[in-house]
Amino acid sequence: MAYENIRLEKDGPIAVLTVDRPKALNALNSATFHEMDDALRSLKDDTRALIVTGGGDKAFVAGADIAEMVTITAAQAREFSALGHHVFQSLENLPIPTIAAVNGFALGGGLELALGCDLIYASEKAKLGLPEVTLGVIPGFGGTQRLTRLVGRSRAKEMLFTADRIDAARAKEIGLVLDVLPADKLMEHCRAVAAKILKNGPLAVAQAKRVVEYGADQDLRSANELERQGFAVLFGSEDQREGMAAFLAKRPAAFQGK
């Protein structure tokens, strides 16, 4: 599929997905979601980390496309919301680490996109917020739920009710972004984090992601059971034997992802 609204680039084992409609500050319309869906499906086993960012120098993603939404019916809104949920859920379900490089405005659906990633880093000029109530609506791509789980109900409600755009430093203070980087160092930092993760056993990283994600919605007992199962499963892998043998032999491990 040829893409008009996104770019998918491979850099060895790291893929970079750029939402690239800078004239509309990378706003997410249906066509963009379909392309993102296709791009996520197209990732092969040799892609071991994904960085998501925005094209141009102003925005990560400034939200869902308001021009597309302005006249839609409730039924169409439901469909649009379901499409966004599907794509962000697919992102969350990827068995590889995903990193949001928030290089500018991350508003509404744009913040929801970042929240669908495992790790969020922001440039000093990023501005984050959920302005939906200023438009008479609420977030519809999981933002009300993922933000609440990340920063707690009170901070999430504050952002949802006031529609305030917070800067990157504040976003770090409330635990919404992990670190704040100078704009020209953001991608480099995200690639370095990805490279560090890539040195580790990929099956183990995938299990770590899986048990955190599935465990987060469960009671502690059930979640701990998931961890026990995930831990045991890894003992059926060659990577476990290699990782431990390498430690004992005082050499770096050569993981195969098997």
Q: How far is the CB of 129 from ligand HXC (least distance, A)?
A: 8
Contact pattern for ligand HXC over residues 140 through 179, marking x by CB under 6 A: xx--------------------------------------
* 24/106 Cα distance (integer angstroms): 13
109 binds ligand HXC (CB under 6 A): yes
Tokens of 75: 């039924």
Q: Active-site residue 112, yes or no?
A: yes
| Of positions 66, 150, 198, 226, contacts ligand HXC by CB under 6 A | 66
Residues 21/33, Cβ–Cβ less than 8 Å: no
Applying the rule CB under 6 A, the residues between 115 and 134 that interact with ligand HXC are: 131-132
Which of 66, 253 has the CB closer to ligand HXC?
66
| Of positions 6, 27, 50, 151, contacts ligand HXC by CB under 6 A | 27
| Of positions 30, 47, 81, 162, contacts ligand HXC by CB under 6 A | 81
According to DSSP, the β-strands at 119-123 and 98-102 are parallel
* 258/251 Cα distance (integer angstroms): 19
153 DSSP β-pair partners: none
Cβ neighbours for 239, distance < 8 A, ≥ 6 positions apart: 201, 202, 203, 204, 253, 255, 256, 257, 258
84 binds ligand HXC (CB under 6 A): yes
64 binds ligand HXC (CB under 6 A): yes
Q: How far is the CB of 27 from ligand HXC (least distance, A)?
A: 3
239 binds ligand HXC (CB under 6 A): no
Q: Where are the alpha helices (DSSP H) in the chain?
A: 30-42, 66-69, 74-93, 109-115, 143-151, 153-162, 168-173, 186-198, 202-216, 220-233, 238-248
Q: How far is the CB of 97 from ligand HXC (least distance, A)?
A: 25
Which of 111, 203 has the CB closer to ligand HXC?
111
How far are the Cα atoms of 67, 100, 172, 226 from residue 177, in angstroms, in the given order? 29, 9, 5, 27
To the nearest 10 degrees (0 to 180), the angle between helices 220-233 and 202-216 is 170
Part in contact with ligand HXC (CB under 6 A); list of ranges 78-86, 183-191, 213-221, 225-233: 78-86
Tell me the helices (H) and strands (E) count for the chain, helix number first: 11, 10
What residues are labeled active site? 112, 132
Binding site residues, ligand HXC, CB under 6 A: 24-25, 27, 62-67, 80-81, 84, 105, 107-109, 131-132, 135, 139-141
